[in-house]
């Protein structure tokens, strides 16, 4: 499996935000989101066997929460899925951050999927979500929308209602995008969409969603890697 990095930090997003977490960042992505903050994953990476990855994870213990992210981890599903089965058998709690552009039916049900449905503001990546992946969602899973503006918000709002997402997933996350080149300051001024505005829209519409700020971009400088 090709990895960019493997490290321990605190989870920055989702309902697991704030918990210690081991991040396994896989190399490669088939999308190109306009606001992507992980372009360094598109190329390169180093190959490791599943035994080597498991040993690296164990070296970072005690920590029982693991997130597979990227890039797009499902591009390496052939090796990733067996690794998930091994780690679940060892009682780790697993998460995967994915765009949902690849089929998710084979991801073990015990793995918490954080599925990032791309909005119009994602540019070329918009509308790449595979709708049949909605049928794979359980209450273990979370659906995330990264929002750049009001158009993205309305897309997310309509998608939530159209697909009754609150009945399919455990959480619906609305996450303001960060500017492409944020300042080193740890401030909401770096966001492309003012979170206060987003909260006003959510409350006005009574949306069954949770505001999700990427807390790692407030703990460390927004562009810092490996945290």
Q: Which residues bind ligand SF4 (CB under 6 A)?
A: 29, 31-33, 36, 38, 41, 70-72, 99, 125
- Integer Cα distance of 153 and 150 in angstroms: 5
Sheet holding 2-10, edge to edge: 46-47, 2-10, 20-26, 65-69, 93-98, 112-116, 142-147, 171-176, 210-211
Q: Name which of 33 and 209 has its Cβ closer to ligand SF4.
A: 33
- Integer Cα distance of 223 and 167 in angstroms: 35
Q: Name which of 111 and 125 has its Cβ closer to ligand SF4.
A: 125
Q: Name which of 72 and 152 has its Cβ closer to ligand SF4.
A: 72
Minimum distance from residue 125 beta carbon to ligand SF4 (Å): 5
Minimum distance from residue 215 beta carbon to ligand SF4 (Å): 18
Q: Name which of 31 and 207 has its Cβ closer to ligand SF4.
A: 31
Minimum distance from residue 117 beta carbon to ligand SF4 (Å): 11
Q: How many CA atoms lie less than 13 Å away from 224 in the CB half-sphere?
A: 16
Residue 77 phi, psi (nearest 5): -55, -35
Minimum distance from residue 13 beta carbon to ligand SF4 (Å): 12
Q: Name which of 7 and 52 has its Cβ closer to ligand SF4.
A: 7
The burial of 185, by beta-carbon neighbours within 10 Å (0-12 exposed, 13-18 middle, 19 or more buried), is given as: exposed
Q: Specify whether the backbone of 94 is left (phi greater than 0), alpha (psi in -120 to 50) or beta.
A: beta
Minimum distance from residue 108 beta carbon to ligand SF4 (Å): 22
């Amino acid at each position: 499996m090709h990895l960019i990095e493997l490290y321990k930090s605190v989870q920055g997003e989702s309902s697991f935000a704030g918990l210690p977490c081991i991040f396994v960042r896989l190399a490669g992505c088939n999308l190109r989101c306009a606001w992507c903050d992980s372009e360094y994953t598109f190329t390169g990476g180093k190959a490791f066997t599943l035994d080597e990855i498991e040993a690296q994870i164990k070296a970072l213990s005690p920590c029982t929460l693991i997130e597979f992210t990227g890039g797009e981890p499902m591009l390496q599903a052939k090796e990733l899925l067996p690794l998930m089965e091994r780690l679940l058998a060892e009682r780790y709690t697993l998460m995967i951050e994915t765009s949902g552009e690849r089929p998710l039916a084979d991801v073990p049900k015990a793995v918490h999927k954080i599925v990032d449905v791309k909005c119009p503001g994602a540019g070329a990546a918009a509308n790449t979500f595979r709708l049949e992946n909605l049928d794979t969602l359980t209450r273990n899973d979370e659906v995330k929308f990264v929002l750049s503006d009001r158009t993205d918000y309305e897309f997310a709002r309509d998608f939530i209602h159209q697909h009754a997402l609150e009945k399919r997933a455990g959480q619906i996350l609305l996450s303001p995008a960060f500017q492409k080149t944020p300042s080193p300051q740890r401030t909401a001024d770096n966001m492309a969409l003012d979170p206060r505005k987003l909260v006003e829209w959510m409350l006005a519409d009574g949306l069954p969603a949770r505001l999700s700020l990427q807390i790692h971009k407030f703990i460390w400088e927004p562009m810092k890697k490996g945290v």
